[in-house]
């Protein structure tokens, strides 16, 4: 097999990976560059997709799916079943005036996406691809195991080991052995001085905050379902407060509730209520948690004299608030006094080491990180061949390759 990283080395996001066998050629992720990315790597998605048999999307973040309109129309695009619906709801919202440049054509193309199921292989000529559901800040995210004859590649997409569904990471990887190459994200390796809490620890801290503050506003990504679940269950533990959102967010949470019963009640958001004027008195009297966004609807509540002694929890990346990556809409919306309660959707150094220790790849190809040399900082339990910093490269997996 051959591997070509079209984009994603020494940059976070914008990922496009090509895997080619004797008979098949696929792309994994077709992301747009993040707004703050300084990369000058240009990729003609239409041109490279013309030669492909299929495109597989690991999750619905735009830095992994954003170029989907440029894929040649007769090339099938695959994505997780729940991920497709959540992204469709999100794109419908973005189609509203003055929000984003999303058209009906975008939604029509999305309808053509094919879906895959967890652990159910898809055969593309002489390639077998198996989706492996993994934890990330996007719901229904996947790694991909790609096999051809006796060669095996694991593409991690974006993942973490400190979320709810990754409590037993060894169980997730129990059947993944003899990996020749792991194409591995390393977003956090340039920030080894940061401390990342688990989603469970975040939820426990949220309990105390909600208990001690009558009116709580929470800003987190509308599609970060695990984060919403953390605050929702923290609020339920406190006991008597409404959990409020707008109609758009409620549509997403209703869909997740209906399609996630196999995860017991963790993703049961049936007690979340979309705002209704009839709830207003109960909100004033008993308090509430409200999911907010940088829009006029949310500002009305935050600035209301009835809720003046409120707590604003900011649960997103701090880079959106300040510095070169700041988002004006977010930075102007978030009040000067806020409580920061967040954890990364990406694997920590220890998480990457844990995964590598389980699957023992012969080669590591770093993607989705600021510097591929950051992998040299890891103390892996065994030696691997490590591909150094190159914008574009091919890797031939030879049958006789051995571990160092």
Whole-angstrom distance, CA of residue 156 vs CA of residue 310: 40
264 band by pLDDT with thresholds 50, 70 and 90 = confident
Interval 64-84: pLDDT, tens: 999 999 999 999 999 999 999
255 band by pLDDT with thresholds 50, 70 and 90 = very high
Task: Return the pLDDT at 382.
Answer: 57
Residue 62 has phi, psi (to 5 degrees) of -60, -25
Spatial CB neighbours of 325, under 8 Å, sequence gap ≥ 6: 35, 36, 319
Task: Return the pLDDT at 73.
Answer: 96
Q: Report the percent of the chain where pLDDT is more than 90.
A: 69
Cβ–Cβ < 8 Å for 369, 185: yes
Region 350-374: what's the mean pLDDT? 88
Residue 23 has phi, psi (to 5 degrees) of -115, -20
Region 103-129: what's the mean pLDDT? 96
Is it the case that residue 360 has pLDDT exceeding 90?
no
379 band by pLDDT with thresholds 50, 70 and 90 = confident
- Of residues 69, 75, 15, the one with CA closest to residue 39: 15
Is it the case that residue 291 has pLDDT exceeding 70?
yes
Residue 226: count of CB within 10 angstroms of its CB: 23
Q: Specify which residues 77 forms β-bridges with.
A: 55
Interval 311-358: pLDDT, tens: 999 999 998 998 878 889 999 999 999 999 999 999 999 899 888 888
- Of residues 144, 140, 148, the one with CA closest to residue 132: 144
From residue 68, how far is each of 86, 105, 109, 122 by CA, in Å?
A: 16, 11, 8, 20
Task: Return the pLDDT at 100.
Answer: 82
Whole-angstrom distance, CA of residue 56 vs CA of residue 232: 32
Spatial CB neighbours of 157, under 8 Å, sequence gap ≥ 6: 28, 29, 58, 59, 64, 134, 136, 141, 142, 143, 144, 185
Is it the case that residue 398 has pLDDT exceeding 50?
no
Residue 352, both tokens: 């990457």
Q: Domains, the chain, ranges and CATH?
A: 2-192+346-396 (3.60.15.10), 199-340 (3.40.50)
Whole-angstrom distance, CA of residue 33 vs CA of residue 391: 15
Alpha-carbon torsion (348, 353, 358, 363), positive or negative:
positive
Residue 362 has phi, psi (to 5 degrees) of -80, -30
Task: Return the pLDDT at 127.
Answer: 97
Q: Output the pTM of the full model.
A: 0.92
404 band by pLDDT with thresholds 50, 70 and 90 = very low
397 band by pLDDT with thresholds 50, 70 and 90 = very low
Whole-angstrom distance, CA of residue 279 vs CA of residue 270: 16
Is it the case that residue 36 has pLDDT exceeding 90?
no
Segment among 47-61, 157-171, 362-376 with least mean pLDDT: 157-171
Cβ–Cβ < 8 Å for 37, 12: yes
Total number of residues shown for the chain? 404
3-state secondary structure of 146: strand
Is it the case that residue 188 has pLDDT exceeding 80?
yes
149 band by pLDDT with thresholds 50, 70 and 90 = confident
Task: Return the pLDDT at 373.
Answer: 83
3-state secondary structure of 293: coil
Report which DSSP code applies to 196: -
Task: Return the pLDDT at 192.
Answer: 77
Residue-wise burial string across 292-327, b where 16 or more C-beta atoms lie within 10 A, e elsewhere: bbbeeebeebbeeeebeebbbbbbbeeebbeeeeeb
Is it the case that residue 250 has pLDDT exceeding 70?
yes
Task: Return the pLDDT at 312.
Answer: 98
The C-alpha angle with vertex 215 and arms to 212 and 219, in degrees rounded to 5, equals 105
Region 128-151: what's the mean pLDDT? 94
Task: Return the pLDDT at 114.
Answer: 98
Task: Return the pLDDT at 386.
Answer: 55
Residue written as tokens 């426990």? 204
Is it the case that residue 394 has pLDDT exceeding 60?
no
Task: Return the pLDDT at 177.
Answer: 79
Region 36-44: what's the mean pLDDT? 82
What is the phi-psi region of residue 239: left when phi exceeds 0, alpha when psi lies from -120 to 50, beta otherwise?
left
Greater confidence, 107 or 388? 107
Task: Return the pLDDT at 359.
Answer: 87
3-state secondary structure of 194: coil
Q: Is 267 exposed, middle or buried (0-12, 13-18, 19+ CB in 10 A)?
A: buried
Residue 236: count of CB within 10 angstroms of its CB: 15
- Of residues 143, 121, 120, the one with CA closest to residue 59: 143
- Mean pLDDT, rounded, of the chain: 89
């Amino acid at each position: 097999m051959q591997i070509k990283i079209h984009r994603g080395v020494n940059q976070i996001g914008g990922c496009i990976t090509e895997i080619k066998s004797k008979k098949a050629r696929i792309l994994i992720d077709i992301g747009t560059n993040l707004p703050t990315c300084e990369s000058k790597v240009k990729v003609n998605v239409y041109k490279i997709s013309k030669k492909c048999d299929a495109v597989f999307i690991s999750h619905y973040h735009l830095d992994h799916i954003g170029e989907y309109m440029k894929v040649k129309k007769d090339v099938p695009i695959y994505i997780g079943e729940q991920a497709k619906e959540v992204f469709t709801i999100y794109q419908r919202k973005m189609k509203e005036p003055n929000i984003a440049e999303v058209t009906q054509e975008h939604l029509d193309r999305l309808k053509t996406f094919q879906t895959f199921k967890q652990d159910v292989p898809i055969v593309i000529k002489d390639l077998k691809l198996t989706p492996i559901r993994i934890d990330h800040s996007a719901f229904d995210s996947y790694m991909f195991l790609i096999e051809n004859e006796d060669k095996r590649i694991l593409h991690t997409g974006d993942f973490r080991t400190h979320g709810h569904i990754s409590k037993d990471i060894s169980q997730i990887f129990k059947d993944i052995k003899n990996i020749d190459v792991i194409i591995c994200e390393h977003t956090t390796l340039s920030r080894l001085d940061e401390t990342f809490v688990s989603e469970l620890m975040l939820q426990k801290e949220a309990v105390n905050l909600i208990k001690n503050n009558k009116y709580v506003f929470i800003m987190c990504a509308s599609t970060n379902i695990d984060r919403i679940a953390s605050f929702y269950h923290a609020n339920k533990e406190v006991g008597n407060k409404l959990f409020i959102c707008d109609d758009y967010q409620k549509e997403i949470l209703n869909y997740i509730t209906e399609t996630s019963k196999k995860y017991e009640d963790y993703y049961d958001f049936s007690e979340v209520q979309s705002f209704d004027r009839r709830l207003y008195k109960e909100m004033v009297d008993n308090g509430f948690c409200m999911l907010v966004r940088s829009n006029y609807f949310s500002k009305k509540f935050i600035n209301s004299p009835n809720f003046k002694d409120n707590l604003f929890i900011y649960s997103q990346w701090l880079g959106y608030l300040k510095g070169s990556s700041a988002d004006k809409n977010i930075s102007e919306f978030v009040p000067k006094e806020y409580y920061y309660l967040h954890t990364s959707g990406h694997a920590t150094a220890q998480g990457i080491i844990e995964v590598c220790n389980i699957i023992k790849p012969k080669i590591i190809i770093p993607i989705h990180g600021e510097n591929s040399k950051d992998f040299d900082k890891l103390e892996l339990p065994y030696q691997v061949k490590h591909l150094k910093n190159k914008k574009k490269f091919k890797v031939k997996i030879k049958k006789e390759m051995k571990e160092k």
